[in-house]
């Protein structure tokens, strides 16, 4: 019997046109734009008016006044801070031959736009973490410890300790009271990374608070915010590859294993303080905080287009007294600090 052609002998593999495996993550993972209100500015750098807080609470200036006498005088001191917006940018070149010879599902212009956009979104969160989610930035700071919380000594027991157990509700309450006596304001926002959020949502103290009144199948950030009597809990999920090009994958969380309690205005205000603002430069046709993509024809004989993405911002701590930073609030080893893997090709 003559051989019959098999199924695979009658087919030549080509690229599927209706699917591809890209690495675009959901926008909800990026949180920098949610934490500090965005203030658009027309200059790369300028001064920020600041008032001396002490004068606004010195009520002993209000005194009895005898008939016909003058009232007690008062006043307020003023000072300044400054912001400095920097441009951050990255580009991808597209040769004419690459565009002309690309078969579906490859779309050089779309693919280049998407990778540039994602890299810039990760960078925005990274900048916030470097400038505002770090030790030494805020006036009030605690550190996670193995022992029970001792606020006077600057320690809060690791929230990942369920055996003692630790007391995140009392820890947050103390931080609120401290900030209130220091500034007249209380935190309204808690920022944590995904791993610290995992420690909180499974914490027996927080679960017990809800089970007293109702069965909760899944604790959400808003439900935990309600426990803490805060407006919101923001969970940062972005990760970043710190490996070299074509080298090992070195994946680390953008936000460390910390917690930040802050009083933040929901929108920019000239009459109310805020822990910080993200200043976004919109002069010279820039788009400020938004990722701006531009396409240029390269002015040489390379016969290529260049797609450039950028943003121009300064995630700026305006009032360091309006933040309480808790460093390493979970025990060492509770969270993965990084994942290193050899990625040498495609299977």
- pLDDT over 80 (residue 7): no
Q: What is the pLDDT of residue 343?
A: 81
Kindly state the percentage of the chain with pLDDT values over 90: 75
**Longest Cα separation, the chain:** 126
Q: What is the pLDDT of residue 161?
A: 97
Q: Is residue 78 classed exposed, middle or buried when 0-12, 13-18 and 19+ CB atoms within 10 A define those classes?
A: exposed
pTM for the structure as a whole? 0.89
Distance, in Å, from the CA atom of 259 to the CA atom of 168, rounded to the nearest integer, reads 11
* Average pLDDT in the chain: 90
Strand, coil or helix: 157: strand
Q: pLDDT tens digits for 33-69?
A: 999 999 999 999 999 999 999 998 999 999 999 999 9
Phi/psi for 127 (5° steps) reads: -65, -45
6-10, 68-72, 247-251: which range is least confident on average?
Answer: 6-10
Q: Is 316 helix (H, G, I), strand (E, B) or coil?
A: strand
Q: Indicate if the alpha-carbon torsion angle 212, 214, 219, 220 is positive or negative.
A: negative
Decide if 273 contacts 315 (C-beta within 8 A).
no
**C-beta of residue 339 within 8 angstroms of C-beta of residue 251:** yes
305 and 82 Cβ atoms separated by less than 8 Å: no
Q: What angle do CA 229, 230, 234 make, to 5 degrees?
A: 140
Question: pLDDT tens-digit profile of 160-194?
Answer: 999 999 999 999 999 999 999 999 999 999 999 99
Per-residue model confidence (pLDDT) at position 213: 62
Percent of the chain residues past pLDDT 70, beyond the cut: 90
Minimum mean pLDDT range among 15-24, 178-187, 258-267: 15-24
HEC per residue, 176-235: HHHHHHHHCCCCCEEEEEHHHHHHHHCCHHHHHHHHCCCCCCCCCHHHHHHHHCCCEEEE
Q: CATH for 24-31+82-341? A: 3.90.1690.10
Token pair listed for 195: 């791993």
Mean pLDDT of 301-323: 94
């Amino acid at each position: 019997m003559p051989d019959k052609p098999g199924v695979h002998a009658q087919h030549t593999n080509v690229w599927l046109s209706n699917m591809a495996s890209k690495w675009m993550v959901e926008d909800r993972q990026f949180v920098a734009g949610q934490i500090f209100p965005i203030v658009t500015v027309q200059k790369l750098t300028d001064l920020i008016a600041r008032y001396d807080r002490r004068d606004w609470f010195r009520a002993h200036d209000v005194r009895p006044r005898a008939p016909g006498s003058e009232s007690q005088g008062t006043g307020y001191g003023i000072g300044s801070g400054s912001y400095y917006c920097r441009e951050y940018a990255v580009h991808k070149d597209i040769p004419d031959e690459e565009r002309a010879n690309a078969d579906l599902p490859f779309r050089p212009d779309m693919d280049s736009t998407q990778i540039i956009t994602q890299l810039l979104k990760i960078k925005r969160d990274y900048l916030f973490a470097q400038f505002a989610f770090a030790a030494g930035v805020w006036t009030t700071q605690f550190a996670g410890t193995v022992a029970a919380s001792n606020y006077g000594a600057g320690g809060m027991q690791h929230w990942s300790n369920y055996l003692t157990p630790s007391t995140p509700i009392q820890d947050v309450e103390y931080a609120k009271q401290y900030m209130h006596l220091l500034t007249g304001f209380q935190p309204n926002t808690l920022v944590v990374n995904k791993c610290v959020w995992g420690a909180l949502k499974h914490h027996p103290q927080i679960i017990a608070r809800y089970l007293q009144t109702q069965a909760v199948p899944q604790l959400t950030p808003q439900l935990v915010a309600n426990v803490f009597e805060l407006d919101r809990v923001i969970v940062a999920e972005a990760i970043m590859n710190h490996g070299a090009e074509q080298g090992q994958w070195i994946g680390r969380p953008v936000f460390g294993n910390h917690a930040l309690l802050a009083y933040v205005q929901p929108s920019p205000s000239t009459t109310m303080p805020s822990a910080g603002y993200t200043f976004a430069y919109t002069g010279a046709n820039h788009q400020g905080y938004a990722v701006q993509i531009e396409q240029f024809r390269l002015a040489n004989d390379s016969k290529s287009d260049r797609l450039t993405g950028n943003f121009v911002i300064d995630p700026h701590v305006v009032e360091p007294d309006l933040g309480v930073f808790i460093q390493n609030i979970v025990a060492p080893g509770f969270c993965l600090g990084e994942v290193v893997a050899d990625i040498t090709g495609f299977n």
